[in-house]
Chains A and B, each alone.
Chain A
Amino acid sequence: MPKSTVRLAAVPGAAVAVALALTACGSSSSGGSANRASGGSSASNAAAKVSGGAAQVGVTLTSAGGCELDHASAPAGPVTFTITNKDATAITEIELQSDQRILGEKENLAPGLAPVKFTATLSGGKYQLYCPGADKENVPFTVTGKAAAAASGSTATVLAEGTKGYAKFVNQNAADMVTAIGKLKAAVDKGDVAAAKKAYAGARPFYEKIESDVGGFVLPGFKPGDNAGNLDYLIDMRQSNLDPKVGWHGFHAVEKDLWQGGKITPQTKKYAKELHTNVGKLAKLVKGVTYKPEDLANGAASLLEEVQTNKIKGEEEKYSHTDLSDFASNVEGAQQAFAFLKPGLQKIDPALTARVSKQFTNVTNGLTPYRDGASLGGFKPWTAQLRKTDAAKLSKKVQALQDPLSQIAQKVATAG
């Protein structure tokens, strides 16, 4: 169903307009707790002392939003960071970065747990300690001595490769969708209800996999707020959310005729023809889109939102009950986006990458018992009865994936 975001289809390459400050340096936005002590570094100017072959730097995390170093500099060579989370609930990890590359990190920094250490061998230059969730997230750290060699193979390059791969996936999927809807149209034109139902179920997954990327396109000549020019509205609007001025179009209008009406009328044929035309337009528009890494992350997150708000409740496929097929397709689309981010994300945050991977596996495994080749869409019908017993179980699995997944955008956006 349509998103509130609006994209102007006429401007290829600029479709996704989320402005991001790539270097979050010094943007200290306090969490609405006006009386909170301002965080930040109270590091002494003296360089860290070398002990046991490494310069020793202490890092303390506090609930006052602090991520504090006891020394702001160290001589070149091995540097050991000892991190104590005193009582900071919000700060669970820190990273040592240089030019957006991660040189060392610690995760799971729960308050009260024993201090943890990591050591990195550092050449002279400027570094940052990145403490997501702290009032001052980037704390500068200087290493004196021999200069560092220039970095190569940056994380940003790897991520950019991933976004190109993802764009190909979306384009291919959109083209396949046009073909699948062509079959639906042909079956409807022939007046064959059984074949049309099968074609409907066969076409839906292509849309559901890329739903988050195709929402918000406005046809040329229409204003952004006008649903008559909103392709997502024209293709995927459900009866419950109709705009009376524009009326019903698209997939679900066909769905209702096939399942509830049980017959194909001249109006059904009109719906199917128009749907075919509109997805053709959509496939052309999608080709012009380029993606930023955070678009993939946000898109994956919004596909999971789709699962939670529409599929779990059985609202998407009210008549055909093929919601679980949509569910699986949303998850697959999200998993694709994640897979294209993975090589870069692995460099930025291997632990988060592992968590998200594990949760994707959990969700996919959770769907396995519902697979049924004999049913339309390849899954058991998501009936009211089945929802009553199983919806909460499935929803919880998705929720456990949503949370770590929602952390990705920020990671890949700041990776420069």
Chain B
Amino acid sequence: MGALAVGASWGMDASRSHPADAADKDAIDLTTQYPFYDQAEPAGIRTPPQRYSIFMTFDLVDGSLRTDLQSLLARWTAASAQLMRAEPIGQVQPSSDAGVGQDTGEALGLDAASLTVTIGLGPSIFDDRFGLADKRPALLRRLPKLPSDNLTPETSDGDLSVQVCADDPQVCYHAIRNLARMARDTVQTRWTVMGFGRASAGKGQQTPRNLFGFKDGTRNISTGADFDKYVWLKDADWMTGGTYQVVRKIEMNIETWDADRVSDQEHIFGRGKTHGEPLSGSVEHDTPRFAAKGKDGEAIIAPTSHIALAAHENNGGIKILRRGYNYTDGINEFGQLDAGLLFVCYQNDPAHFVQLQRKLGAADLLNEYVKHVGSGLFAIPPSPKTGHYIGEQLFT
């Protein structure tokens, strides 16, 4: 385990820098384990965001049967529980020379590192292939086309989604690799994003930064009351206690952004870059005053700034839980850095995301610097009881 010191000042104006206080330092204990079974909530949602994440979606192979899907979910469930306990999912060393290992082995000796596995069901599994049409979660429909969508099928949708998060990237990779491997004749990989840095904060964590260098998610959902009101499903039959997962792969035009003057960047976000204070306030957690006007008579926080468009005050009170990660795919075909935000959010009604993104996609000043290239909506069933499995109610 090791605590990482953050908050060093980079030669800024001393009056604007201050050492991070203790609460701002995120200490990591790699031995931390989260339980999988018998929880009030599925893992990996309210869980304080770990440092790394891999998101992957899968399609059932042609000719798969209902029983194939059932045994896949049952095996993924038990494997997830084992992985989260830092156990291999089977023998690494087969008992005969002619055998192949059941676990690939690269996590042997590593701690659980707060691993969570979150399994989602895509709208497509409720088509006519598996006879599950009558079990479709009420609000699980493919997201509608949204303004500024630039989606490619190769980075969108999927029959099933798996989000793994951990404080050790190898623990993450081992988990997703073994889940993919154990199901290779049932599912094929569809798309994946590897997140290398959390871009959202949980309780007690300092607000992290996206690759634009700004604090992101200052006003994220954090109270129990907000989770109950906006995240978890109530009276939703077998989905009660579950939620909906929206995933967007958002490319950032890094080079262009880096060439923009910081004052303009702050204008686009509506916050200061160094401390994340709303432009109408002085410290990060000041409530933004969207009506405040400057000496020139203009709104201090531009109405088309990111925080103004996304704020619950300006959206009929709607809130979503954001749990995203920064990602990089290396270098693109134009020789530019290929990176962005793996935007993940959880809400009890996908229409909440849709409403926000309709507005952001149409007017956000940030749109000049971002491109939504991937998208998916998945239903996250509630945490299974011991001896049971995720989605069991689909097959009863």
- Minimum CB–CB distance for B38 against chain A, Å: 13
Contact partner of A359 among B88, B182, B185, B392, CB < 8 A?
B185
Tell me if A95 is interfacial: C-beta within 8 Å of chain B: no
A89 CB contacts on chain B under 8 angstroms: 75, 78-79, 82, 89-90, 182
CB 8 Å contact bits of B57-85 with A (1 = contact, 0 = none): 00001110001001110110111011000
Of B195-203, B334-342, B365-373, B383-391, which stretch is located at the interface? B383-391
Residue contact A112 to B97, C-beta cutoff 8 Å: no
Of A2-10, A75-83, A208-216, A397-405, which stretch is located at the interface? A397-405
Measured CB to CB, the residues of A under 8 A from B are 18-21, 24, 27-33, 36, 63, 65, 86-92, 108, 110-113, 132-133, 135, 137, 294, 297-298, 355, 358-359, 362, 396, 399-404, 406-407, 409-410, 413-414
Of B100-108, B121-129, B250-258, B300-308, which stretch is located at the interface? B100-108
- Minimum CB–CB distance for A26 against chain B, Å: 10
Residue contact B74 to A112, C-beta cutoff 8 Å: yes
- Minimum CB–CB distance for A28 against chain B, Å: 7
Complex Cα gap A63–B87 (Å): 9
Closest-by-CB residue of B relative to A404 is B185
With contact pairs A31-B90, A89-B75 given, residues A110 and B70 touching in the complex (Cβ less than 8 Å) = yes
- Minimum CB–CB distance for A133 against chain B, Å: 5
Residue contact B87 to A33, C-beta cutoff 8 Å: yes
Closest-by-CB residue of B relative to A86 is B387
Residue contact B97 to A18, C-beta cutoff 8 Å: yes
Residue contact A112 to B82, C-beta cutoff 8 Å: no
Closest-by-CB residue of B relative to A138 is B95
B317 CB contacts on chain A under 8 angstroms: none
Residue contact A402 to B67, C-beta cutoff 8 Å: no
A31 CB contacts on chain B under 8 angstroms: 88, 90-93, 101-103
Residue contact A32 to B392, C-beta cutoff 8 Å: no
Complex Cα gap A246–B218 (Å): 65
- Minimum CB–CB distance for B162 against chain A, Å: 15
Contact partner of B98 among A92, A355, A359, A410, CB < 8 A?
A410
- Minimum CB–CB distance for A279 against chain B, Å: 30
Closest-by-CB residue of B relative to A27 is B95
Residue contact B88 to A33, C-beta cutoff 8 Å: yes
With contact pairs A87-B387, A112-B388 given, residues A406 and B100 touching in the complex (Cβ less than 8 Å) = yes
B67 CB contacts on chain A under 8 angstroms: 108
Residue contact A355 to B93, C-beta cutoff 8 Å: no
- Minimum CB–CB distance for B221 against chain A, Å: 31
Tell me if B263 is interfacial: C-beta within 8 Å of chain A: no
B108 CB contacts on chain A under 8 angstroms: 32-33
A403 CB contacts on chain B under 8 angstroms: 181, 184-185
B89 CB contacts on chain A under 8 angstroms: 89-90
B interface, over-half SS:
loop
Closest-by-CB residue of A relative to B386 is A87
A65 CB contacts on chain B under 8 angstroms: 91
Tell me if B213 is interfacial: C-beta within 8 Å of chain A: no
Tell me if B188 is interfacial: C-beta within 8 Å of chain A: yes
With contact pairs A89-B75, A110-B75, A113-B71 given, residues A21 and B97 touching in the complex (Cβ less than 8 Å) = yes
4 further contact pairs, Cβ within 8 A, besides A90-B89, A112-B77:
A32-B103, A33-B87, A403-B181, A403-B185
A401 CB contacts on chain B under 8 angstroms: 185
Closest-by-CB residue of A relative to B181 is A403
Contact partner of A19 among B78, B87, B97, B189, CB < 8 A?
B97
Measured CB to CB, the residues of B under 8 A from A are 61-63, 67, 70-72, 74-75, 77-79, 81-82, 87-103, 105, 108, 181-182, 184-185, 188-189, 384, 386-389, 392
Closest-by-CB residue of B relative to A21 is B96
With contact pairs A19-B97, A20-B98, A410-B96 given, residues A90 and B87 touching in the complex (Cβ less than 8 Å) = no
A133 CB contacts on chain B under 8 angstroms: 90-91, 102
B70 CB contacts on chain A under 8 angstroms: 110, 113
Complex Cα gap A91–B98 (Å): 17
- Minimum CB–CB distance for B158 against chain A, Å: 14
A63 CB contacts on chain B under 8 angstroms: 78, 81-82, 87
A21 CB contacts on chain B under 8 angstroms: 96-97
Residue contact A400 to B185, C-beta cutoff 8 Å: yes
Closest-by-CB residue of A relative to B74 is A110
Interface pairs (30), CB distance under 8 Å: A18-B98, A20-B98, A29-B94, A29-B95, A32-B105, A87-B78, A87-B82, A87-B387, A89-B182, A110-B70, A110-B72, A110-B75, A110-B78, A111-B75, A112-B389, A113-B70, A113-B74, A133-B102, A135-B91, A137-B95, A362-B61, A396-B188, A396-B189, A399-B184, A403-B185, A404-B185, A409-B98, A410-B96, A410-B98, A410-B100
Complex Cα gap A413–B100 (Å): 13
- Minimum CB–CB distance for A359 against chain B, Å: 6
- Minimum CB–CB distance for B44 against chain A, Å: 19
Complex Cα gap A298–B99 (Å): 10
Complex Cα gap A157–B74 (Å): 38
Complex Cα gap A60–B185 (Å): 26
Most buried by B among A20, A92, A113: A113
Closest-by-CB residue of B relative to A33 is B88
- Minimum CB–CB distance for A67 against chain B, Å: 12
Residue contact B184 to A29, C-beta cutoff 8 Å: no
- Minimum CB–CB distance for A307 against chain B, Å: 15
B82 CB contacts on chain A under 8 angstroms: 63, 87, 89
Complex Cα gap A406–B98 (Å): 9
B99 CB contacts on chain A under 8 angstroms: 132, 409-410
Most buried by B among A63, A89, A410: A89
- Minimum CB–CB distance for B190 against chain A, Å: 10
B184 CB contacts on chain A under 8 angstroms: 399-400, 402-403
- Minimum CB–CB distance for B50 against chain A, Å: 22
B182 CB contacts on chain A under 8 angstroms: 89
B97 CB contacts on chain A under 8 angstroms: 18-21
Residue contact A29 to B91, C-beta cutoff 8 Å: yes
Closest-by-CB residue of A relative to B102 is A90
B384 CB contacts on chain A under 8 angstroms: 112
- Minimum CB–CB distance for B82 against chain A, Å: 6
A90 CB contacts on chain B under 8 angstroms: 89-91, 102-103
Complex Cα gap A294–B72 (Å): 28
Residue contact A110 to B95, C-beta cutoff 8 Å: no
With contact pairs A89-B90, A403-B184 given, residues A24 and B95 touching in the complex (Cβ less than 8 Å) = yes
Complex Cα gap A243–B72 (Å): 46
Residue contact A32 to B93, C-beta cutoff 8 Å: yes
Complex Cα gap A24–B188 (Å): 33
Closest-by-CB residue of A relative to B100 is A406
Complex Cα gap A294–B87 (Å): 30
- Minimum CB–CB distance for B383 against chain A, Å: 13
A29 CB contacts on chain B under 8 angstroms: 91, 93-95
Q: Across the A-B interface, give the 6 residue pairs with the lowest CB-CB distance, nearest first.
A: A90-B90, A31-B91, A110-B74, A111-B78, A112-B389, A110-B71
Closest-by-CB residue of A relative to B186 is A400
